[in-house]
Amino acid sequence: MDQVIIGVDTHKSNHIAVAMNTQGARLGGLTIPTTCQGYLDLEVWGSKFGSIKAFGIEGTGSYGAALSRDLLAKGHTVLDVMRPNRQLRYLHGKSDSLDAESAARSVLNGQATALAKTQIGACEMIRHIKMARDSAVKSRSQAMITLKALIINAPAELRGMLDQIKGPISLIRHIAALRPGKITSPTASAKAAMRAIARRWLNLHEEIHVHGQELERLVREKAPGLMNSHGISTMTAAEMLILVGDNPERIKSEAALAKLCGVCPIPASSGKTNRMRLNRGGNRKANAALYIVAVTRMRGHEATKAYVIKRTAQGKSKSEIKRCLKRYIIREIYRQLCVPNGAKSTH
């Protein structure tokens, strides 16, 4: 039986699929709704052309997430396809059908090799809770900025009274307990506005605390060894678990994980010039988390301090040393999260 590759261009309400054989010939196209029945119809339709070798899906982390989970649960190979090259789009045009065909060709020519995340385990739960926490943290910061602006512009008597309260938490609790009464003056309206924002801040503060406790539990259950590493906090471990996903075997090497985090240098050589440049790609949240770990270890980890002294003597700058440290931290994380327990002794 002939093998078939299915390329899928994903959207919110429907997906466009194109089937292609291993010789690169287009066999047909299909549009399906983003429902369970639509996913079943896609599988049945693709099977009519032969044995399905793989699905190449654009956007497995967004619009294509549900389809990807459904196909992975049924045992299919699902590859994450990057957005089509802009130059090729300019030359050949842009349509959903062409994008789906481009996804299939990316799988066929070996350009798309990244396996999609399964998104059905603890890492997906951590991602959900962390998204809620990050949103609450952002809203809490905005509430504090607004509250400070209101205090600065408040009537002199009210502002003078609030300036005497020491400590941000005490100030917020005091403001939350204000009784503005009927809004008949700027003082009363300022009290009402500040009280509403202070209560919002306290609610968000409590929400963040609850999310933090839940993340602590989930992360410790999933990666207890990583949590015991110096300088790696709950949020850092959570960010790395989200990056790796529930099927860490899809990350084939330590170098692949480094590239995902943007901590591997990129060749920038030409002619007689042979050099590497800083990688500004990859997952920037994970990269920022690694930076925090590196700085923390430079301040309070004896082995890291000795390494910094050695590299400084060799003429390395602080920025270069931090980049090297991030690469070593990636090695540690890879062994904790991506290498099976039985194989750890071989690294």
Q: The tokens 């029945």 sit on which residue?
A: 37
- Residues 42-97 pLDDT 10s: 999 999 999 999 999 998 989 999 999 999 999 999 999 987 666 666 666 678 88
Confidence (pLDDT) at 345:
40
- Residues 278-313 pLDDT 10s: 888 889 999 999 999 999 999 999 999 999 999 999
CA dihedral 193, 197, 203, 206 (to 10 degrees): -140
CA dihedral 177, 181, 184, 188 (to 10 degrees): -10
Number of Cβ within 10 Å of residue 198's Cβ equals 22
How many residues are given for the chain? 347
Confidence (pLDDT) at 94:
76
CA 8 to chain centre: 23
Q: What confidence category does residue 27 fall into, taking pLDDT thresholds of 50, 70 and 90?
A: very high
- Residues 133-186 pLDDT 10s: 999 999 999 999 999 999 999 999 999 999 999 999 999 999 999 999 999 999
Confidence (pLDDT) at 178:
94
- Residues 245-282 pLDDT 10s: 999 998 989 999 999 999 988 888 888 888 888 888 88
Number of helical H runs and strand E runs in the chain: 14, 7
- Residues 86-131 pLDDT 10s: 666 666 667 888 889 989 999 998 888 888 988 889 999 999 999 9
Confidence (pLDDT) at 347:
40
For 292-343, the three-class secondary structure string (H helix, E strand, C coil) is: HHHHHHHHHCHHHHHHHHHHHHCCCCHHHHHHHHHHHHHHHHHHHHCCCHHH
Number of Cβ within 10 Å of residue 63's Cβ equals 20
Residues 38 and 20: their CA atoms lie apart, in Å, by: 19
Residues 147 and 143: their CA atoms lie apart, in Å, by: 6
Q: Is the pLDDT of residue 343 over 70?
A: no
Indicate the pTM of the whole model.
0.85
- Residues 192-247 pLDDT 10s: 999 999 999 999 999 999 999 999 999 999 999 999 999 999 999 999 999 999 99
Q: Is the pLDDT of residue 346 over 60?
A: no
Q: Half-sphere exposure (CA, 13 Å, Cβ side) for 123?
A: 17
Confidence (pLDDT) at 89:
64
**Structural tokens at position 247:** 């099927």
Handedness of CA 174, 179, 183, 185 (dihedral sign): negative
Confidence (pLDDT) at 82:
84
Number of Cβ within 10 Å of residue 61's Cβ equals 13
